[in-house]
Structure 1
Amino acid sequence: MTHYAAIMLAAGIGIPVLAALNARLGANIGGPAAAAFVLFTVALICSGVAMVLTGPGALARVAVQPPHLFLAGVLVAFYVLSITWIAPVFGVGNAVFFVLLGQMISAAAIDHFGLFGARIVPLTAVRVVGLMAMTGGLALIQLTNRG
């Protein structure tokens, strides 16, 4: 299980890096949407290589999946487009702060209600206190960014 945590920690570290790099690319080329397109093209190639290496057979089952599952692609596009447009003017730290806050709220709801087939993890008082502590920590980080 610790390797899962390490992988997700690395993914979390990558989110602000992705935001900063793609925001800079968008600013450099004068088109945030074009920068997002480039990012998704590179991501498509990387995902394609990973799929080929791990077995492309799963791709054959895509056509029979419920349409609402494809909303994930819309959500990732929304994230990348919004962070690419907003980070240069709002700041990477500010943008990621609100992304993290949204992730905590959404994750707690998904876990509590078992949405989208997720394992149910009830929102106990201890978890609420933990979420409040994380939110407070994020807010403190933002306060020190302004000082």
Structure 2
Amino acid sequence: MKIPFYIAALIAGLSLSLEAGIGGTLGQNIGEMETTFYMMSMSAMVMVFIILFFGKGDLAQIFKVPKWNLLGGILGGFYNLILIISVPIIGVGISVIAALIGQIAMSAFIEQFGWLGSQKIKFNINRFAAIMLLAISLYLVY
């Protein structure tokens, strides 16, 4: 059953909006890059404990994977920094909707070609409509 994973993804999305709002406010107080550093450092510390108690993988394999696989960490920091900068200027809602449009559009592109080890899923009218509806929602919220 996939429903628990849909719920988990929904919760992840909720937490990203909270993180954007908190980060935007913190960034105004201590600086955008400093906030990004703080948030990523805290995430790393929490993950150390989660890995210690629940990890089942082999972190040493990080030295053996193709180097492009390691870009995720850099992109995560970039994502946070951009949200921290944009939230105080354009707001949490618009920042998150714009980021979501980018995420959906890129995910559709990645799946169209089966890049990054993903399953190939054809781009179709439904996916196009979903991206356009998100773009319309950005306009309506703005």
Same fold (TM over 0.5): yes
2:107 aligns to what? 107
Unaligned runs of 5+ in 2: none
Shift in Å, 1:134: 3.5
**Does 1:26 pair with 2:27?**
yes
Could you tell me how far apart the structure 2 residues matched to 1:55 and 1:17 are? 26
Shift in Å, 1:114: 0.8
| Runs of 4+ with >6 A deviation | none
Could you tell me how far apart the structure 2 residues matched to 1:112 and 1:7 are? 25
1:13 aligns to what? 14
Could you tell me how far apart the structure 1 residues matched to 2:89 and 2:138 are? 20
Aligned residues: 141
Matches of residues 1-147 of structure 1 in structure 2 within 5 Å?
1-29=2-30, 31-55=31-55, 57-140=57-140, 142-143=141-142
TM-score (norm 2): 0.91
The Cα offsets for residues 62-95 of structure 1, whole Å up to 9 and x where unpaired, read as: 1101101111111111111111112111211121
Shift in Å, 1:100: 0.9
TM-score (norm 1): 0.88
**What fraction of aligned residue pairs are identical, expressed as a percent?**
27
The Cα offsets for residues 96-116 of structure 1, whole Å up to 9 and x where unpaired, read as: 121011011101111111110
